[in-house]
Structure 1
Amino acid sequence: MLKRLKTIGRYDVFKRIIVTGIFIVVLSFAIIESMIVSGFKINDTHAPDIEYVIILGSGLKGSQLSIILQQRVDTGIAYLKQHPHMPVIVSGGQGPGEDIPEAEAMSRYLVGQGIDQNRIIQENRSTSTFENLKFSQDILKAQGVSQPSIMIVTSNYHLYRAEMIASTLGFKVHGIASPSLEYLLPQNMLREYLAMIKAMLQLP
């Protein structure tokens, strides 16, 4: 009888641990997803004193922009055409299945859409959002630019994390959320939840 009671006691402890764990996961998911969603409507188009635009990469098909990346670049183009003297950093390295760095493909696309090549700075080494922004910062520091005011252009589900990282690096941050494909949104939101946890654990 005593042995049975001990077994039941252990079961209750495990059950409480599992229930508590599930509650923490659900709560963290709800909080983090609400943070991500808050970035969907960010549109700082009229923010003053922007010094640089940074468009973040998102994959190629060979040497062609993916649909998501084209949406980002098209959103950036609309802003750049409203600010014809604004320099732009295109940020993205070369990943598996990509024939050229994302930065080079973005640069070609921008030029094809009428953006002067002299306005474009390529950051072509990065493989993550943190590297996108850190390596872009390194380029600017090498040019004597410290803590500039930047306009980040990236997908709506990605903007909150990108701004969070940029702020940590010391940028004065503004952003424009580009649209994303609705049928891919559940997948992207789940992936972004995990990426947010990783970023919050790694950033100071």
Structure 2
Amino acid sequence: MKKSMKWILVLIIITVIIGFVFWVQAGKWMADGLDAKADGTNEYAIVLGAKVRIDGPSLSLRYRLESALEYANDYPDVKLILSGGQGPDEHMSEAEAMRIYLVENGIEEERLLLESESTSTYENMVNSKNLLPSTIQSVTIITSDFHVARARMIARSLNLQTDAVGAKTPEVVKVQSNVRERIALIKTYIVGK
């Protein structure tokens, strides 16, 4: 084998090993992200949006909303920041869809703050932080279980302490979401967004 071919093979092997290590680490981050269970001590909870369909919230968003509703009922003094913009194929912002659902299910409008400009998890966190009083340094994040680790990692980069509520992930998208989220977590770790 030529010397240059050996170097190429060595580089490929090293790349595969590094990729595998990051892949395993991302899985650990995802599991560890759920360790900080929310207990109502934070004054604010940020509910991260997901797809809105013509007939209402997608299943992923509905599960997040069910978790947010339960949390809001358990801790009636907590205010909710509903965070999510309007995608090109959505007829309303994710924040507005969440507001409608929560109000229809008995949550007082006065407890809800809407952040309807964000188009990514990073923007969710930055824009939601801007709605917080300057004295608030810790929040609860409510999102899908697979998504908690990255949301918390981004919040930490913005100097926010967090605990979390992890909503269940629909079975139909569990594998796809897990793979996609591992890649996004690795990107967030490297790039910071």
TM-score, structure 1 as length reference? 0.88
User: Which residues in structure 2 correspond to 1:190-201 (within 5 Å)?
Assistant: 190-201=179-190
| 1:172 equivalent in structure 2 | 161
Q: How many residues align?
A: 193
2:93 matched to 1:93? Answer: no
Partners of 1:147 and 1:118 lie apart in 2 by: 18
Aligned to 2:49: 57
Letter in 2 for 1:52: Y
Cα distance per residue 1:80-124 (max 9 Å; x no partner): 001112211000000021001100000000001100011110000
Tell me how far 1:63 sits from its aligned partner.
Answer: 6.0
Whether the 8 Å contact between 2:40 and 2:75 is mirrored in structure 1 is: no
Cα deviation, residue 47, structure 1: 5.2
SS at match of 1:115: coil
1:45 aligns with 2:45: no
The normalised TM-score by structure 2 is 0.93
Partner of 1:188: 177
Q: Which amino acid aligns with 1:44?
A: K
2:7 pairs with 1:13: yes
In 2, are the aligned partners of 1:52 and 1:148 still within 8 Å (CA)? Answer: no
Question: How much has 1:145 moved relative to structure 2?
Answer: 2.8
**Alignment partner of 1:145: what SS?**
coil
Mapped contact 2:40–2:78 kept (Cα < 8 A): no
2:60 to 60, 63, 68: 68
Offset at residue 188 of structure 1 (A): 0.8
Q: Please tell me whether Structure 1 or Structure 2 has the larger radius of gyration of its CA atoms.
A: 1
Consecutive unaligned residues of structure 1, counting only runs of 5 or more, are: 1-6
Q: Secondary structure at the match of 1:99?
A: coil
Aligned Cα RMSD in Å? 1.7
Matched residue of 2:2: which SS?
Answer: helix
Percentage of identical aligned residues: 31
- How many angstroms does 1:55 deviate by? 0.4
Contact 1:63 1:105 in 2 (8 A): no
Tell me, which stretches of 5 or more residues in structure 2 are unaligned? none
Aligned residue number for residue 129 of structure 1: 121
